[in-house]
Amino acid sequence: MPKYKFYPLLLLIFSIALSTSAQNKNFPPAVQQVKFSPDPRPSRIILTWEDNPATSATVTWRTSSLVTSAKAEIALADPSPYFNDYETDIPASTTTLSTPHGTYYYHKSQFKNLKPATQYLYRVGDGTYWSEWFQFKTAEKEEKPFRFIYLGDAQNKVYSHFSRVIRAAYAHAPDAAFVLHVGDLINHADNDYEWEEWFRAGSFIHATIPTIALPGNHEYNKNKQGFKESFSQYWQPQFNYHQNGPLDTLQDQAYFIDYQQIRLIVLNSNTYWEEQAQWLDQVLQNSKKRWNILAFHHPIRNAVVGRQNKEVVKYWQPIIEKHEVDIVLQGHDHTYARGFLDPEKKGAMYVVSIAGEKMYNLTEQKWMQRKAENTQLYQVIDISNNELTYKSYTPSGQKYDAFLLKKNKKGSNQLKELPADITGERRNSNTLVEK
């Protein structure tokens, strides 16, 4: 029988399999083992920083092992379609990653000696297969107002549910300086399919606005007893950051970035708490920035009962209070809460937020000045001289929470609550809950 007569049957089987897996909350074994055939065309393109955001940028992408001479091209973003006649070739370094799904090459090119506050275009490829041209802008050299996006855990149903949140955030703030992800980007650390979902959910956003990411507990593989066994093999090849962290073993997991008038300090709250505490103490002590912002996964104060990370509280909270950190951005608890730990003394503002589909029941606590259950959110944070304006939005663009921190002459913050579009609290009792 001619081979082509089997095609209708194969298509029917494939469509049934896709329909069945789409109805399943968790990825069944058949979907978990989906293999992405090695492809010489660039995919999973992501922009990050390893150096000064005003004069540099780093791009990383993935191909099959057939690509042995990868490179990037960069040009000034002139309105003329002939801008690429003036492009500059930037060679790429390559890292090999062997997985059960095949061998992949991760390529990295660093753009250096760029002009501040300038728009550039770049593409990546090998001379035959190219990505589209992506446009980005370098940071200002001097202090100017800017904004960034902060997202809680994506983790579950990343492509189907998280995608609307990151895309709504981009539509709201397309001029954001960067997008901050506070851990649990996916659910299973080494599931290639889930990483594919994360990259597709963000699509061109990852390639045009620098991504700042940090590990959550789901970036670790666990053994049968539920204990962390190994770190995701995908993290290091695809995320490249400043090499100024506390330990070589925490490369691209704990680091700080100075962006105009802020120092953003990223920590890995899963391990090496004491070593990171010592480093954090020095980084804050040496900071000359007006705003010091911390980001890590496990909250100092949980929004859900029984999920306290004792090491984070023991080693990090005293240093946060000692140096009067301005705001701490966290995830992990799959709900929303915001407030000072001590409303009288104030100090750092702590936030826990969730961008993905998975939700937990909130535990009422005194420190919470604003809270929500069963609500996907994104946050846009504006920095302008002595003012930090924080706004949290639903995917439909309704403002759920907002406040202003204003520094006085002594460097202390004064809090001003700002009006929200949704005045009541979203709780399981008044929202759509799973049947």
Same domain, 120 and 150: no
- Give domain status of residue 354, yes or no: yes
Q: Which domain holds residue 48?
A: 43-137
pLDDT computed for residue 37 by the predictor? 59
- Give domain status of residue 37, yes or no: no
Same domain, 62 and 200: no
Is the torsion defined by CA of 173, 358, 44, 230 positive or negative?
positive
Same domain, 89 and 237: no
DSSP state of 423: -
- Write the burial class of residue 367 (CB in 10 Å: 0-12 exposed, 13-18 middle, 19+ buried): middle
Distances (CA, A) of 23 to 198, 277, 376: 19, 44, 21
In contact, 147 and 169? CB cutoff 8 Å: no
Distance between CA atoms of 115 and 59, rounded to whole angstroms? Answer: 17
Q: Residue 87 is part of a domain; what is its CATH number?
A: 2.60.40.380
Same domain, 163 and 120: no
Same domain, 68 and 208: no
Token look-up 């956003």 returns 205
pLDDT computed for residue 342 by the predictor? 86
Token look-up 């859900």 returns 304
- Give domain status of residue 94, yes or no: yes
- Give domain status of residue 20, yes or no: no
Same domain, 241 and 294: yes
Distance between CA atoms of 166 and 168, rounded to whole angstroms? Answer: 5
Q: How many domains does the chain have?
A: 2
pLDDT computed for residue 27 by the predictor? 42
Same domain, 298 and 251: yes
End-to-end CA distance of the chain: 49
In contact, 216 and 154? CB cutoff 8 Å: no
**pTM, two decimal places:** 0.92
The residue out of 114, 137, 160 marking a domain boundary is: 137
The residue out of 77, 108, 137 marking a domain boundary is: 137
Same domain, 271 and 326: yes
- Give domain status of residue 101, yes or no: yes
pLDDT computed for residue 149 by the predictor? 98
| Phi, psi for 183 (deg, rounded to 5) | 100, 165
Q: Residue 413 is part of a domain; what is its CATH number?
A: 3.60.21.10
Distance between CA atoms of 170 and 156, rounded to whole angstroms? Answer: 20
Same domain, 208 and 82: no
pLDDT by position in tens, the chain (length 435)? 444 444 444 444 344 344 334 333 444 443 444 555 568 999 999 999 999 999 999 999 999 988 989 999 999 999 999 999 999 999 999 999 998 878 999 999 999 999 999 999 999 999 999 999 999 999 999 999 999 999 999 999 999 999 999 999 999 999 999 999 999 999 999 999 999 999 999 999 999 999 999 999 999 998 876 778 899 999 999 999 999 999 999 999 999 999 999 999 999 999 999 999 999 999 999 999 999 999 999 999 899 988 889 999 999 999 999 999 999 999 999 999 999 998 777 799 999 999 999 999 999 999 999 999 999 999 999 999 999 999 999 999 999 999 999 999 989 999 999 999 999 999 999 999 988
pLDDT computed for residue 3 by the predictor? 43
Same domain, 80 and 186: no
Same domain, 348 and 393: yes
Same domain, 306 and 169: yes
Within 8 A by CB and 6+ apart from 328, the residues are 293, 294, 295, 296, 300, 320, 348, 349, 350, 351
pLDDT computed for residue 7 by the predictor? 43
